[in-house]
Amino acid sequence: MSLTPAFLDELRARTHLSGLIAKTVKLQKAGREYRACCPFHNEKTPSFYVNDDKGFYHCFGCSAHGDAIRWMTDQRGLPFIDAVKELAQAAGMEMPEQDRRSAERAQQAKGLHEAMDEAARWFAERLQGIEGAEARAALKKRGVSEEVARAFGMGFAPDSRGKLKDALKAFGDPMLVEAGLLIAVDNKEPYDRFRGRLMIPIRDVRGRTIAFGGRIIGEGEPKYLNSPETPLFDKGRTLYNLDRAQAAARKSGRIIAVEGYMDVIALAQAGFGEAVAPLGTALTEHQLERLWRMVETPLLCFDGDNAGQKAALRAAHRAMPMLQPGRSLAFVTLPEGMDPDDLVRTQGPAAFEALLAKAQPLVDRLWQSEIAAEPLDTPEQRAGLKRRLGELANTIAEPNVRAEYLAEFRERTDAHFGRGPRSFQPSAQRGPSFARGKRDKRGNWIPPEAPPSATVRGVQAGGLDPILARAVLSGLIRHPAEIARHMEVLGSLRNASGALGKLFEAVIDVALEDRQLDQGKVLTILAKSGFDSVASDLLRADTLPFSFTRPKTVDEAKAREDLNEAIAVMVAQPAVDAALAEATAALIEDTTDEAFARQQALSRQRQELEARLANLMLADDENLDE
């Protein structure tokens, strides 16, 4: 099937974006746009905007951005082609014709889906019948309610080699073999794959049955038997319960990956509907990407035995090359020998919730693993630790994250062996570090600079800081004469990501259109460009506490001076961050005094920028108290 750009553009044009989004999100009219609390992250005040004229949505809180197709893939979790098909059907558009081979595959898949759905219904009926008495008793013993069993489509496969085959004979043996429901060996008569087992349907993101997991009732091996890989089922790309967990994850703001089906089902019954599980394999790159599409930091909660903890560590190592700013993992450690099913059944949901609240960051799990790997008594062993940590950090592809891990591991190593100024604490337990006072050449004591505020400490390392950028935009709208003064510098920010870049571009266009501007004219011109509600939002009184973001300023000259300083800091930060990341990464290869001095000099520059910004904010806070 060939989806041309023209077809996709027509599809977007025919799709009423706000109507599509309003099916699951409560939208409020805001000028020419709609706004709502973002469905991709938890927030109390709306920062999610939908623009029908331009055909996109954008969240100023988490930077989620896209069109109708992106909404279907990110919010609904559909594969791209399924998203296009659903939108095309709603828009009354015919999908482009398929080539013969694609049409054959589509028809084949349709038949397989129908066979799997029919098998799921047949297994569910057997569970409720006379044959399923033992399976029902096993579920009751494990505390699985009838309601939950129905919700997950659970069933029972009788201990027979041909009952399912006879029930589904209308599909023909070849299709049932291809679906993984029958086994064919050496040209012998095909027979039922699943016999005498509790049956658990495995569904795709659209809720269609694509495979089964069969759990033995009582003793025997194998304990679990999964469907083989088929045209419908790729176990390395599938997560059990993903179809149900997506909505729960959006509501709770988290996703929990556990080891098995029964853990997922037990957690759902205990109120944790956001749990998923891999299918008999270690978490794959595709499965990790699936998790990251829902939340920035998925929680991995594997069994408390050695095998479970080794699986968690393998997932940690597999995730390293894929880390991005804001994208990580966290680990929930269960009591030894317990799995989530055991915990919620014996200790209740509150005990599990308490463990989730103490999830261990990825960097702590890696550090803990490496220092426990071997003794660290000799110089050679300590050098081996440094080498392993360096190799681990260097697997990260993203340069800023890689540089942060290299610096973090270096600091932890020095602190662990008593070479640093303090004993090491896990990252989650650290408090802020403050500058120390010093004496000048005459011996006079110079007190330390005031620590930066919590907002300033949150400034992102690398790229344009969105909080500072929004404050600057607010200041430029309030003091439009400053736009022309900084035209060249602001022009370099047109390439900033997402809506920030578009806003800076719009503000520059405002100045080019009319050099004699006041705030009213700026707002009028921005409204024509579709930024009326966004500009109004920037002018709210509860923006960052700079003098230039205030509705009324006592000292206009100081407000303009502070705005100029904020622009200088905002523009300088990305360049310094990039250079610092490069210099920090280089230290792993180049340990000369020159390389270390360069890294330290850049680190001081970064601290000076933070201090300049902190001084602006602290000075303004003092004005508030007067």
Q: Is the pTM of this model over 0.85?
A: no
Task: Provide the 10 A C-beta neighbour count for residue 44.
Answer: 6
Q: What letter does residue 530 receive in the DSSP assignment? A: T
Query: What value does the mean pLDDT take over residues 596-614?
Result: 79
pLDDT, residue 432, reads: 35
Tokens representing 213 are 């997991």
Number of C-alpha atoms within 13 angstroms, CB side, residue 431? Answer: 4
Kindly tell me if the per-residue pLDDT of 228 is higher than 90.
yes
CA proximity to 613, closest of 567, 576, 578: 567
Summarize pLDDT for 423-448 with one digit per residue, the tens.
444 544 443 333 334 444 444 444 44
Summarize pLDDT for 390-421 with one digit per residue, the tens.
999 999 999 889 999 999 999 899 888 876 44
pLDDT, residue 348, reads: 92
Q: 235 versus 6: which is more confidently predicted?
A: 235
Kindly tell me if the per-residue pLDDT of 602 is higher than 50.
yes
CA distance 18 to 27: 8
Which of 51-65, 288-302, 479-493, 611-625 has the lowest average pLDDT? 611-625
Confidence label for 590 from pLDDT (cuts 50, 70 and 90): low
Burial of 318 (0-12, 13-18, 19+ CB in 10 A): middle
Computed from CA positions of residues 366, 369, 372, 378, in that sequence, does the dihedral angle turn out positive or negative?
Answer: negative
Query: What value does the mean pLDDT take over residues 281-292?
Result: 88
Query: What value does the mean pLDDT take over residues 386-390?
Result: 93
Summarize pLDDT for 344-379 with one digit per residue, the tens.
989 999 999 999 999 999 999 999 999 988 888 898
Task: Provide the 10 A C-beta neighbour count for residue 246.
Answer: 21
pLDDT, residue 306, reads: 83
CA distance 262 to 266: 6
Tokens representing 234 are 């790729």
Bridge partners (DSSP) of residue 182 are: 192
Chain centre to alpha carbon of residue 567: 30
CA distance 105 to 163: 28
Q: Give, to the nearest 10 degrees, the angle between helix 80-91 and helix 5-14.
A: 50
Which of 24-33, 121-130, 167-176, 518-527 has the lowest average pLDDT? 518-527
pLDDT, residue 488, reads: 58
Whole-number Cα distances in Å, 362 to 38, 331, 427, 428, 461: 26, 7, 10, 11, 19
pLDDT, residue 520, reads: 62
CA distance 502 to 535: 12
On whether the CB atoms of residues 453 and 467 are closer than 8 A, the answer is no
SS3 450: coil
Query: What value does the mean pLDDT take over residues 448-475?
Result: 53
The single-letter code of the amino acid at 420 is G
Kindly tell me if the per-residue pLDDT of 212 is higher than 80.
yes
CA proximity to 469, closest of 379, 574, 542: 574
On whether the CB atoms of residues 486 and 567 are closer than 8 A, the answer is yes
pLDDT, residue 486, reads: 67
Confidence label for 158 from pLDDT (cuts 50, 70 and 90): very high
CA distance 282 to 470: 42
Kindly tell me if the per-residue pLDDT of 327 is higher than 60.
yes
Tokens representing 109 are 């898949």
Structural Rg of the chain based on CA atoms: 29
CA 610-616-619 angle, 5° bins: 130
pLDDT, residue 522, reads: 61
pLDDT, residue 55, reads: 83
Query: What value does the mean pLDDT take over residues 474-486?
Result: 73
Longest alpha-carbon distance in the chain: 98
Confidence label for 496 from pLDDT (cuts 50, 70 and 90): low
Summarize pLDDT for 36-53 with one digit per residue, the tens.
998 888 788 888 999 887
pLDDT, residue 78, reads: 81
Kindly tell me if the per-residue pLDDT of 264 is higher than 90.
yes
Task: Provide the 10 A C-beta neighbour count for residue 491.
Answer: 12
